[in-house]
Amino acid sequence: MRRVVITGLGVITPVGNDVKTTWENLLAGKSGIDLIKSFDTSQHTVKIAGEIKDFQPEMRFDPKAIKRLDRCVQLCLWATHDAIQDAQIDLEKYDKDRIGVIIGSGIGGLATWEREHTKFVNSGPSRVSPFLIPMMIPDMTSGYVAIQWKLKGPNYTTISACASGAHAIGDAFRAIRHGDADVVITGGSEAPVTPFALAGFSNMRALSRRNDAPQQASRPFDQERDGFVMAEGAGTLILEELEFARKRGAHIYCEIVGFGATGDGYHITAPAPEGEGARRSMKRALDEAGCGVQGIQYINTHGTSTDLNDKFEVKAIRDLFGDHAKNMALNSTKSMIGHTLGAAGAIEGVVTVLSIRDNVVHPTLNLENPLQECEGLNLVTGERLDISIDCALSNSLGFGGHNATLCYKRFVT
């Protein structure tokens, strides 16, 4: 099997519009969650979210073109631009047929759909934009990346709710490993902070209602958690076949060595009892990686701050890792940026890669009274934890019972 390495990273999140700023703020334990400023929430029960600050896409892209791109695609292009720059790869030098794009998005252009539907209801069919469909459909995240850089390899979007970004990275890993591509631009993007989506998630009682204390609202694994905080963002990783990367003298962050994907087959929103689907997903990733439970030092958990998800993910970790569970560092990036849905697995993938690079795990914010199920586990709280990391997992678990686990490993020649 061909080896797959990561050579470029790009993110845009509620705590930073680039990798450096995001990473520094995560290590410092800074929250990007606040009262929603992009629209009037006076009629909403939930009034908080993780919104991106000072986003100016016209700094990089044609202002006329931006008007025809949903925010979800704009965020994706922003993160991808940074990842390509970071990888220092001149895409014009290589066979475009061997460069793929696989990017996940759970919802896609929801803001466009809402805006155009309002026009339809209020003013009739003739007022609906002819760009509605290409702006709305989720596959335009990967479609526009390919168009922007004229890439001709495997190109599609994964849609598996909160596991979309992780599934995209896993598919990209497999595409290179099995020889379908030499380079794949992969990750996830989501822009779900809209009035309609906020109402939907709120009415199903999935969201935290701590409007009076936004930065304390996302509380993964804490006894006082009351739901997740919706957020927007994007993450992009450049994956390359090892020899291809070596030949062009690329900087290598780390290696992807395992991918596990399972289904719960249980419920539209609740995870399978005891987290058995998540356990099988992690086991599959470990089996492919060949490192065994003892080889893992860190898990970036799905950690949403919801009742069953947090409890069952911890149960899955305990069941799979046994006595070794207490030796691993665990954290949740969502405690600071909120839940970016289809982009979560990609953003958290970038965070996991940076943790391996720097041998450090960022803290989990607001974890003051851990669940009883967490007793004895090394949940990183308060301050960053310096720890030697050779191999780490990143979990993503989506509505509908979609589970994905990625295994990242320090690169050794």
Which position among 302, 391, 402, 407 bears the catalytic label? 302
User: What was the pLDDT predicted at 66?
Assistant: 87
Buried b (16+ CB within 10 A) or exposed e, 163-192: bbbbbbbbbbbbbbbeeebbbbbbbbbbbb
User: What was the pLDDT predicted at 60?
Assistant: 87
User: What was the pLDDT predicted at 1?
Assistant: 82
Single-letter amino acid, residue 178? H
Residues 165 and 104 sit within 8 Å (Cβ to Cβ): yes
Residues 393 and 300 sit within 8 Å (Cβ to Cβ): yes
- The string of pLDDT tens digits covering residues 92-136 is 999 999 999 999 999 999 999 999 999 999 999 999 999 999 999
Spell out, as residue ranges, where the chain has pLDDT lower than 70: none
Residues 142 and 157 sit within 8 Å (Cβ to Cβ): yes
Which position among 81, 167, 339, 402 bears the catalytic label? 339
Residues 252 and 245 sit within 8 Å (Cβ to Cβ): yes
- Rounded to the nearest 5 degrees, what angle is found at the Cα of 298, between the Cα atoms of 7 and 251? 15
User: What was the pLDDT predicted at 73?
Assistant: 97
> Terminus-to-terminus CA distance in the chain, angstroms?
16
Catalytic residue flag (residue 391): no
Domains of the chain, start order: 4-247 (3.40.47.10), 258-409 (3.40.47.10)
Residues 235 and 165 sit within 8 Å (Cβ to Cβ): yes
Residues 117 and 135 sit within 8 Å (Cβ to Cβ): no
Q: How far apart are CA 279 and CA 299, in angstroms?
A: 13
Q: How far apart are CA 99 and CA 95, in angstroms?
A: 7
Which position among 162, 254, 374, 407 bears the catalytic label? 162
Catalytic residue flag (residue 162): yes
Catalytic residue flag (residue 302): yes
pTM of the model: 0.98
